[in-house]
Amino acid sequence: MIPFYSYKNGNYDVTIFSDGTKVRYNYEDSLVPDFPENIDFKISSYCDIGCPYCHEGANKKDMLLKRSKINELVKSPFFKSLHRGMELALGGGALSKINLTNFDYLLRKLNTDKKVFPNITINAKELDNKEFTEFVIKHMNVNIYGVGISYNPEYKNKILDFVRRAQSENIVIHTICGVTQKEDYDWLAKYGFKVLILGYKSFRRGNDYLKTHNDEILQNQKELSDNLEYYSKYFKTLSFDCLALEQLNIKERVSPEVWSKNYMGDDGRFTMYIDLPNMKYAKNSTAPLSERKDLSLSMTIEDIFKSLWTE
C-alpha cells in the first residue's frame, strides 16, 4: 500500500493509503478526535429513480443543488473550517441530475481550496446517463477520490463497463443487507469487486417497504449471512456499515483481535451526517427527525461535531 495523505486529528494521527485503507496511530489510552474523519454529506434530495426502500425518501419534488447554495457553502465559516484529509461522501439524491457545471465547481473548490477528499455515491442506473458517466470518469483520481455505486441488478453490465474504464482502486459496490439477493452477490464475487454491505434502514420508505416485504428481507439476510465466509474469499475487500455489522452479527463471528483491529467506531464517533438541503445534521442518516440539529454554515466543523455529544 502507498501512503496517500496523513493528518493529525485530536490526539492521534491518520494515514490514508492509495487504495482507500485508513490507519490511525500515535495515540495513548483512547482516540479523541477534534473533527469527523468522514462526513456523509447529503447535497441534493431530488431523485427520479424511486427505489421503494429509500430511507432518504428522495423524490422528484425535492430540492436539487443550486449554484446559489454552493456559493453560500464555499464562502462560509463551515467550509473554511474543513480540514485537509477529511473525506466527504457526497450523495443524497440522484447526483446525475445536478447541473454538471455547478457540480464541477463544487468538486474543484473542495479539492483545490480545502484538499479534502470528495467521494460520491450514485445509483447504478445513473450510469445510463452518458454525459454524467463521462463527467465522473474525467474527475476520477483528480477531484473525485472514490465512487460508491448502489447496486442495481438491471445495470450489471453498466457497472462492469464503468469499473473497467475508470481504472481506479477506489470504486466500491454498495449493497443492502436484505435487499440484494444471493444471485447478485454471486455475480459480484465472480468479478472480485470491492463491496460495502449497508444495513437495512427501516426509515421513511424503508419502513413502508419492510411492512410488505419482511419475509423476503429476512430470507435475503439469512442467505447473505450463510455465505459471508465464501464471499470474503472472492471480494477484493468486504466492509460493512455499523447497521450491517449488527444485522449480520459480525462481532460474534470474528476474534476479538480481528474486531479490535478492523472496527472503525460507532456512528458519530469519527463520522457524522449533514443534510444540506434541509440544513440539518446528526450522528447518522437514520437519526430520528426529532434528534437532528439545525445546521448553520456560520458554525465551524469542530463546533458542529462537538455538539453531537452535548445537549
Q: Tell me the pLDDT tens digit for each residue of 28-37.
A: 788 999 999 9
Both 21 and 69 in a single domain? no
Radius of gyration of the chain, Cα coordinates, nearest whole angstrom: 19
Band of residue 78 on the pLDDT scale cut at 50, 70, 90: very high
The torsion defined by the Cα of 212, 216, 214 and 175, in degrees rounded to 10, comes to -100
Residue (of 86, 93, 37, 38) closest to 65 by Cα position: 93
Report pLDDT for 32: 92
Both 15 and 63 in a single domain? no
Both 18 and 70 in a single domain? no
Q: Could you tell me the residue range of the domain that residue 108 belongs to?
A: 33-307
Both 98 and 219 in a single domain? yes
Strand-pair partners of 119: 89, 146
Q: Tell me the pLDDT tens digit for each residue of 57-69.
A: 888 887 789 999 9
Report pLDDT for 54: 93
| pLDDT value at 283 more than 90 | yes
Report pLDDT for 27: 78
Both 18 and 106 in a single domain? no
If you average pLDDT over residues 98-104, what whole number do you get? 96
Both 214 and 248 in a single domain? yes
Residue 130 belongs to domain with CATH number: 3.20.20.70
What domain count does the chain have?
2
Both 99 and 230 in a single domain? yes
Band of residue 311 on the pLDDT scale cut at 50, 70, 90: low
Both 48 and 150 in a single domain? yes
Residue (of 132, 77, 124, 126) closest to 101 by Cα position: 132
Q: Tell me the pLDDT tens digit for each residue of 142-155.
A: 999 999 999 999 99
Q: Tell me the pLDDT tens digit for each residue of 148-178.
A: 999 999 999 999 999 999 999 999 999 999 9
Residue (of 149, 192, 146, 181) closest to 49 by Cα position: 149
If you average pLDDT over residues 246-274, what whole number do you get? 94
Q: Tell me the pLDDT tens digit for each residue of 201-244.
A: 998 999 999 999 999 999 999 999 999 999 999 999 999 999 99
Both 12 and 83 in a single domain? no
Report pLDDT for 145: 93
Report pLDDT for 251: 96
Average predicted confidence (pLDDT) for the chain: 94
Both 2 and 51 in a single domain? no
Both 71 and 174 in a single domain? yes
Instruction: Indicate the pTM of the whole model.
Output: 0.95
| pLDDT value at 1 more than 80 | no
User: What is the distance between the alpha carbons of residues 88 and 82, in angstroms, rounded to a whole number?
Assistant: 10
- Residue pair 134/144 in contact by the 8 Å Cβ criterion: no
Both 14 and 131 in a single domain? no
User: What is the distance between the alpha carbons of residues 242 and 250, in angstroms, rounded to a whole number?
Assistant: 10
